[in-house]
Structure 1
C-alpha cells in the first residue's frame, strides 16, 4: 500500500512577493497529494512565536496538525510542524531537543497511515556544519531510544553537500533518498531539503513540486516521496479482513 510524505520549508508563509499568504501555502500543500507533510518555519521567530500557519487557517481543510505545540498559538515546535490528512491516526508525538546556539529542535509523530505504522520525523538543522553534525547525531540517538518503528526523516538540512556532514551521519543508520534541488524556488540548484528512511521502508518514487503557486509561495520547493512499509502487519490484517468480507 502506497503512502506519500512531503517536506516543505514554508518561510513563515511569506512568498517571493514578500506577502504573507497562509492560504497560498495551504494550496501548495494540497497540490502535493500527500498523506503527511513536515513543515519548517511554520511559526514566527519573534515575540510569542505564534504560528504563521495557524489552527484557524487549517479549519475546514483536510489537514490536522500533530499536537506538538507548547502553547495555544502554535501548531509545532521550534518552527517544525507535522500535518496529517484526514484518516491518518496520530498515536504519539515526540519533541527532540537539539544542541545549538539558537532555538532548534526536531519533532516526530507515530502514525498509522493506510494501515501502516510509520514514524515521521521533521527537522530544520542549523546554519553551521559542525552544529548540524551534532544535531544529526542527537536525532539518531533520540530515535534509538524509542520503540523501533518504520521511520522517515525529512526536513531542511541546510547542507549544500550531497553526502557529507550531517547527511553522512544519517546515512550511517538510514537510507538517503537521492537528492533533488529544492532551493532557490526561482532557480533550484541546492538540495537543502532531504529525506531518509529506515531499512523497512521502500521508496517507490520521489519528486519536487515545481508547478503553480509552489514557485512563489516560499523560497523552497516542496519535496515529496511515495513510500511502502515492508511487511506491514496492519496492512496484512486489513487485506485479510477485506478478503473475508
Structure 2
C-alpha cells in the first residue's frame, strides 16, 4: 500500500499578494493530489475561529475533513486540520492539547486501509521554541499510550535543523523526512515543514511542491512524501 502524504501551512488562505483566496488553496491541493493532507493555519485566529476554507469548496474535492475541531465553524484545532480521501474510513479523530505559551495544538486521525490501521497527526509547533520539545514529547506520549500502529506526523515544526533542537526527541525510532526548503514561498530558504514516520513505512520519495500557483497561494510551499506500507 503506497500513500502520498502532504503538509501545507496555508497562512489562513492569504497569499503572498495579500489576498485571501481559498479557491487558490484548493487548486494547489489538486496539484499535489495527496491521499492524506495536514493543513496548518486553516482557521481564523480570532472570534469564532471560522475556517478560511468554506466547506462547500471541499465538497467538490476528493477529500473530506476529519472531525477534529472543538468549535462549530472551525475546520481544525488551533488551525490544524486533516483531509483524507473520501474512500478512507476513519475509526477515531480529534484534537490534542499540547503544552504551550502560544495557541498551538495537534490533531489526530486513525484510519483503516486495506485491512491495516494507521495513525496520522498534524501539528504546528511553537514559534518561540520554548515549548517545542515538550510539544513533540506530548505527541510521542499520545502515540505510545495508544495501540501500536504505523504512524505519520506532519506539520510546520518551526525548527530549522533537521536533527537539532526539538527534533532530537524523535531519536532513531522515527524517520525524519525533510523534503526541502519551503519557507518563504517566494524564495524558500528554511526547511520548517516536515513529515516524520515510524519505521513501519518504506520511504519512496518526497519533495517540495513549487508551482507558480503555490508561490502565490501562501507564504509556505507544500511538502509531500510518498510512503509504502509493506504487506503483513
TM-score range, shorter chain: over 0.9
Aligned to 2:201: 201
Unaligned runs of 5+ in 2: none
- CA 1:125/1:59 → structure 2, altered by over 3 Å: closer, same or farther? same
* 2:48 paired with 1:48: yes
- Runs of at least 4 residues off by over 3 Å: 113-116
Q: Deviations over 1:200-238 (max 9, x none)?
A: 111111011101311110010000011111334xxxxxx
Using the TM superposition, give the Cα deviation of residue 8 of structure 1 relative to its aligned residue in structure 2, in angstroms. Answer: 0.3
- Report the number of matched residues: 232
Q: Which moved more, 1:134-143 or 1:51-60?
A: 51-60
Aligned to 2:110: 110
In structure 2, C-alpha distance between the alignment counterparts of 1:115 and 1:29, rounded to whole Å: 27
- CA 1:179/1:4 → structure 2, altered by over 3 Å: closer, same or farther? closer
Aligned to 2:32: 32
Aligned to 1:184: 184
Aligned to 1:65: 65
Aligned to 2:76: 76
Using the TM superposition, give the Cα deviation of residue 179 of structure 1 relative to its aligned residue in structure 2, in angstroms. Answer: 4.6
Using the TM superposition, give the Cα deviation of residue 167 of structure 1 relative to its aligned residue in structure 2, in angstroms. Answer: 1.1
Aligned to 2:166: 166
TM-score (normalizing by structure 1)? 0.90
In structure 1, C-alpha distance between the alignment counterparts of 2:230 and 2:151, rounded to whole Å: 11
Using the TM superposition, give the Cα deviation of residue 114 of structure 1 relative to its aligned residue in structure 2, in angstroms. Answer: 5.4
- CA 1:113/1:18 → structure 2, altered by over 3 Å: closer, same or farther? farther
Aligned to 1:99: 99
- CA 1:137/1:155 → structure 2, altered by over 3 Å: closer, same or farther? same
SS in 2 for 1:162: coil
In structure 1, C-alpha distance between the alignment counterparts of 2:79 and 2:59, rounded to whole Å: 20
Using the TM superposition, give the Cα deviation of residue 71 of structure 1 relative to its aligned residue in structure 2, in angstroms. Answer: 2.4
In structure 1, C-alpha distance between the alignment counterparts of 2:197 and 2:94, rounded to whole Å: 18
Could you say which structure has the larger radius of gyration?
Answer: 1
Q: Deviations over 1:92-115 (max 9, x none)?
A: 113221111122111111113455
Q: Do the aligned residues in 2 keep the contact of 1:98 with 1:106 (CA within 8 Å)?
A: yes
Unaligned runs of 5+ in 1: 233-245
Using the TM superposition, give the Cα deviation of residue 58 of structure 1 relative to its aligned residue in structure 2, in angstroms. Answer: 1.2
Q: Do the aligned residues in 1 keep the contact of 2:179 with 2:225 (CA within 8 Å)?
A: no
SS in 2 for 1:129: coil
RMSD, matched Cα: 1.4
Q: Deviations over 1:144-195 (max 9, x none)?
A: 1111110011100001122111111123431111451111111111100011
